[in-house]
Amino acid sequence: MKNFKPVTIEDVEKFWGNANFGPDLNSRKMDVVKGALLKWASEFSTGYTAFRILVDLGLMTEKKRITARGRRQLWEFFGKDSLSV
């Protein structure tokens, strides 16, 4: 994907709004995004708030499909440094 722009904490903050995932997760907002995206990629769903954050970040579509940016972001989150193939 040309011109891929990874999700930053600033991006997450922009779309977080008044979301509240509890005291443990509110301080780890990027972990919420990572976990939610991985759940969707694994064919599990998340709550509506996490889903909306993914859509607003451009990682998912309204029709609950992962976008090209979302697939690339999954690689950045989980694959890039953990695989040696």
* Interval 12-42: pLDDT, tens: 999 998 888 888 777 899 999 999 999 999 9
DSSP per residue, 20-51: ---HHHHT-HHHHHHHHHHHHHTT----HHHH
Please state, rounded to an integer, the average pLDDT across all residues of the chain: 90
**Domain segments of the chain as ranges:** 23-79
DSSP state of 72: H
Coil/strand/helix, residue 66? strand
> Any idea which residue has 């609950």 for tokens?
64
Tokens of 3: 């011109």
Predicted TM-score of the model (pTM)? 0.87
